[in-house]
Structure 1
């Protein structure tokens, strides 16, 4: 914020954006004036800026758009209310059939855990840290490092990429205990898919649900206990196939989007480890589901479903998006990143 020579704070464009946003959200002008004066802005200047904003045709146009968006919010609130007509939960189904999966979960955007479909994966018997080190230890892989020093480590994932021997990474996991400081994630896929191509021979197509001929054949996740993937939503439907270790997953239905503090792109500011209701009061009214994903289970994550994932053990997951049915939702995703 810019200061004038007398020591008073001057209203700059950052303040003007703040004024406009809060007026559009329905804040009383006097309350905004009080905040500005409390921040060191001269009362007369604060009132002039507020008067100018309230009479601006730009603000009038933005308010009209806000009223249109309120109708969209009403539609979402209808779905939120309908969701509360029954106890929403993450169901578990053994070897869920294709038609039922599509009819009850894929086409309706409901999460579900499927058991029994990974029983014939060689990975379920072969994969562990010793196997990785022995078979692929010399492969050069990419890993996310330094996550503990950056609260926005997912948004800034490119800055955290490091390359190392897979065997060295596996040894680091084995000796780490609980930590979120390093993690091999889908953000490292472009390099790791080539470096660890042999691992894919230990997987089998989930032909009941997926297109085996699709080039989108999976993303590899491997990390110690304590890894955290913060609340976000994906732009496609996803499968999370858990090979070893357990993961705790929190899920929020897409209709709750107005209350999850979506501050940038597909991310939320809310920390799922300990939701701060004082800082994020709207979360008190949000429907949050919880499940534990065990080895040999698949979690279906619907497009737009907010989710937070915590590694309870050293764990390995393969995620995939190559479903038999239309899974293209990115073409009409809004291009802006900041909300």
Structure 2
């Protein structure tokens, strides 16, 4: 008996979406007690399901302190690593190439001055992801929870990294996935996430692109190597209008937190001068990872 593999896979992903993937995210309170920690793990982490969380940052001084004047008073001449592009697309496909931003160190007060009065020819974004909060922004550490006990209890592991995000409203994070459990807290402004579950890997096609990097003038300079990246509209993945995808769109506002499970694909836009802190935890290589790997290998065979 011949099996229609595409139809079978579509049936499986549609069933997964109907059974456990929400079309709209719930909002729950930060888990505190051992019972709440266990319930959060069972309902969201174990099932690999995203959720909005209220109350995670209610007692952070950052929520009331982090205006531009305060940040400049704390960081001032501190040099921070800034990603610079002419169009807001860093680590994204532009003109058929995987394009990296121009990166340079500038004084934080100069960064804030340009965010207040953006230039037309370039877009700035603080997006360094190698534990940037604990290195370049450590002077702000007392304003937030540097190691959230509740999430460390949920994941049963230590933090891998804490990152600081701030930038121009034109900056876009193109669709990708991360091998981390992600707790993402917005301190100022808002972020809009377009999410696709791991099972959508079957219909999110990768393609290999030559690597380029912007220089200081905004010109593209070729670099060695090829990078596989998702072949989809970099600015608006929803424009693909594929009935085989299962997008979930969620806006995370000031004082709200998103639990973004590992291997969920996400595309991110933001309001101007939004600030966020995210906490990365290593993943548990259990059933959710095995399911993703199966979808990944099937998709690779079809690409």
The normalised TM-score by structure 2 is 0.73
CA deviation string 1:224-251 (max 9, x = no partner): 2222111111111111111110111111
| Equivalent residue number for residue 284 of structure 2 | 326
Q: State the aligned residue count.
A: 263
For 1:135-284, list aligned pairs within 5 A.
Answer: 135-148=74-87, 152-153=91-92, 156-157=99-100, 159-176=101-118, 181-187=123-129, 189=130, 193-204=134-145, 205-210=147-152, 214=158, 216-264=160-208, 267-271=229-233, 273-275=235-237, 280=240, 283-284=242-243
Bigger radius of gyration among the two: 1
- Offset, 1:202: 1.4
**Any gaps of 5 or more consecutive residues in structure 2?**
209-226
CA deviation string 1:43-91 (max 9, x = no partner): xxxxxxxxxxxxxxxxxxxxxxxxxxx9799567514323135753211
Q: Tell me the distance in 2 between the aligned counterparts of 1:136 and 1:266.
A: 37
Q: Which of 63, 80, 105 lines up with 2:14 in the alignment?
A: 80
| Equivalent residue number for residue 275 of structure 2 | 316
- Offset, 1:147: 4.8
Cα distance 1:177–1:91, how it changes in 2: closer, same or farther (>3 A)? Answer: farther
**Which has the bigger relative contact order, CA under 8 A and spacing at least 6?**
2
CA RMSD of aligned residues (A): 3.6
Cα distance 1:166–1:246, how it changes in 2: closer, same or farther (>3 A)? Answer: same
Q: Tell me the distance in 2 between the aligned counterparts of 1:327 and 1:85.
A: 22
| Equivalent residue number for residue 11 of structure 1 | none
The normalised TM-score by structure 1 is 0.66
SS at match of 1:148: coil
Structure with the larger helix share: 1
**Any gaps of 5 or more consecutive residues in structure 1?**
1-69
Structure with the larger strand share: 2
| Equivalent residue number for residue 40 of structure 2 | 101
Cα distance 1:193–1:245, how it changes in 2: closer, same or farther (>3 A)? Answer: same
| Equivalent residue number for residue 116 of structure 1 | 55
Q: Tell me the distance in 1 between the aligned counterparts of 2:47 and 2:10.
A: 15
Structure 1 residue 306 corresponds to structure 2 residue 265:
yes
Q: Tell me the distance in 2 between the aligned counterparts of 1:259 and 1:165.
A: 43
Q: Tell me the distance in 2 between the aligned counterparts of 1:232 and 1:179.
A: 26
